[in-house]
Amino acid sequence: MRHPILISLCVTGTLVLGACAQSSDEKVDRALRDLNVVDETGLNDVMLNAADPGEAVAYFQRASTADPDRIDLLRSLGQSLIRAQRPTEAAAAWTRVTEHPDATDEDRVALADALIRNSDWTRAGEVLNTIPPTYETYRRYRLEAMVADSKQDWKKADSFYEVAAGLTTKPGSVYNNWGFSKLTRGDHAGAERLFAEAVRHDPALFTAKNNLVLARGAQRNYALPVLPISQEERAQLLYTLALSAVKQGDVAIGKGLLQEAVETHPQHFEEAARNLRALESNSG
């Protein structure tokens, strides 16, 4: 009579132990999956921010092909292609992102950015038009301004540049773009003011310094403004002014500026020296 009871208890015990083992295995598997996700996220960040752009592109191409529903991998692929200066492929990647059910307005802004880098101004404008006006970010309005520039809609461009500058704590690049817009319109004085504003906000932005002296040179003002510049930067800016002077027929002034650029540069300034020799040869 006792044997059936013992068998029953043993069977019950086996079932309980089996259930416990199964529950424990599931917990381990779940923990390992969570750990893998954390590890993968860290690796993704490293590949995106620190890896060689080409290596990052290859990594995220493989990862997004293996798991095409992961929007984070698609985004990382788009960002990597931008870093690798492959705008055509980046536009295709960001198009895939915007077609994902979890796509956001920021994803559409990223697509517009890639399209602008690919000189597809028309489609970039169309994408920006799909974003509601309530989505107000620095990046969105900076791109809106650039698209307006491409259409020579100066009134809209000025409005968008102004809004973009107010939406960031580092508006130096916005003022530089805005100044270049003014420069292409022939508003040299307006461009000069904006380039000076760009340098004030970002003293390390050499492009804005160079554009500033271009705007001054276009007004036949060949004196360097007071700027925070190194000796090499000073030589480069003198060279820019010299070319501007020569282009406008002020050859003697241009020769003097080239000579000053050669003497100012801390090392041999071959480009300036070559142009100076050419001018002196032509004069002879």
Strands in 33-149 per DSSP E: none
CB 246 within 8 A of CB 277: no
Q: What CATH number has the domain spanning 136-225?
A: 1.25.40.10
Alpha-carbon distance 10 to 270, whole Å? 93
Alpha-carbon distance 178 to 15, whole Å? 75
pLDDT at position 283: 65
What Rg value do the Cα atoms of the chain yield, rounded? 30
- Per-residue model confidence as pLDDT tens for the chain (284 residues): 444 444 343 444 444 434 444 555 555 444 434 434 434 557 787 787 767 889 999 999 999 999 999 999 999 999 999 999 999 999 999 999 999 999 999 999 999 999 999 999 999 999 999 999 999 999 999 999 999 999 999 999 999 999 999 999 999 999 999 999 999 999 999 999 999 999 999 999 999 999 999 999 999 999 999 999 999 999 999 999 999 999 999 999 999 999 999 999 999 899 999 999 998 887 65
| Domain boundaries, given as residue ranges, for the chain | 136-225, 229-284
Q: What is the pLDDT of residues 118-131, one digit of tens each?
A: 999 999 999 999 99
Question: Roughly what angle, to the nearest 10 degrees, separates helices 172-185 and 206-218?
Answer: 30
As to burial, measured by CB atoms within 10 angstroms (0-12 exposed, 13-18 middle, 19+ buried), residue 226 is exposed
CB 220 within 8 A of CB 250: yes
pLDDT at position 14: 44
Question: Roughly what angle, to the nearest 10 degrees, separates helices 87-98 and 105-117?
Answer: 160
DSSP state at residue 96: H
Residue located via tokens 């990046």: 139
CB 264 within 8 A of CB 238: yes
Q: What is the pLDDT of residues 47-76, one digit of tens each?
A: 877 678 899 999 999 999 999 999 999 999
Alpha-carbon distance 254 to 217, whole Å? 11
Q: Which residues contact 192 (CB under 8 A, 6 or more apart)?
A: 179, 212, 215, 216, 219
